[in-house]
Amino acid sequence: MERLLVLARHGQSEWNLKNLFTGWRDPGLTDRGVEEAVKAGRWLKSEGYGFDVAFTSDLGRAQRTCTLILEEMGQPNIETLRSQALNERDYGDLSGLNKDDARDRWGAEQVHTWRRSYDVAPPGGESLKDTAARVLPYYIESILPRVMAGQRVLVAAHGNSLRALAMVLDHLTPSTISGLEIGTGVPLVYRLKEDTTVASKSVLERDIDNA
């Protein structure tokens, strides 16, 4: 039984390119973001991976990434489930602001705390702890049973919703999660044991211009 779980952050979005806080806003992918998603699908296919079911968020950039990956793998019609539970963390009042402008307004240390701490939320938004409070129940109730039944599962979502999952899978702590970066369009490949813990993990590291 494979018990395969692949997590993929969406490709570069228009607001990633502009250095804006995005959160629940819904900009599209850039040309580079499309290329990242296509190349992720190509790499997964070349390594012999395939999927039985996919999960994604309610936001278009994750949905399109999911679609592009599956199309590139020749699996455009597999069951795909969408849930707001997998959305990016809500950046509240920071949404749409340039990150450099936010540092000028509130100070670099405060903005860093909002971005990387585990339990400090930006004004009107969510902390990573808040994000995990919706992501993890959905994972346990909807995603994990599919994996443990032997289905091969793709989750195409966002930097912070996937950080919340990786925190549990990789046994990271509130103090060490701040150092985890998940690149756009980079799949994290997990295989789980019978007890739901991680048997192995691999990360696609590649240069988008040379992949």
The catalytically annotated residue of 36, 72, 88, 126 is 88
For the question of residue 88 being annotated catalytic, the response is yes
For the question of residue 2 being annotated catalytic, the response is no
Buried b (16+ CB within 10 A) or exposed e, 15-38: bbeeebbbbbbbbebbebbbbbbb
Question: Is 197 exposed, middle or buried (CB count within 10 Å of its CB: 0-12, 13-18, 19+)?
Answer: exposed
C-alpha angle with apex 26: 21 to 27, nearest 5 degrees?
A: 80
Determine which helix (DSSP H) or strand (DSSP E) holds 167, and give its type and residue range: helix 159-169
C-alpha angle with apex 96: 90 to 101, nearest 5 degrees?
A: 115
The catalytically annotated residue of 10, 35, 36, 126 is 10
Which are the catalytic amino acids? Answer: 10, 88
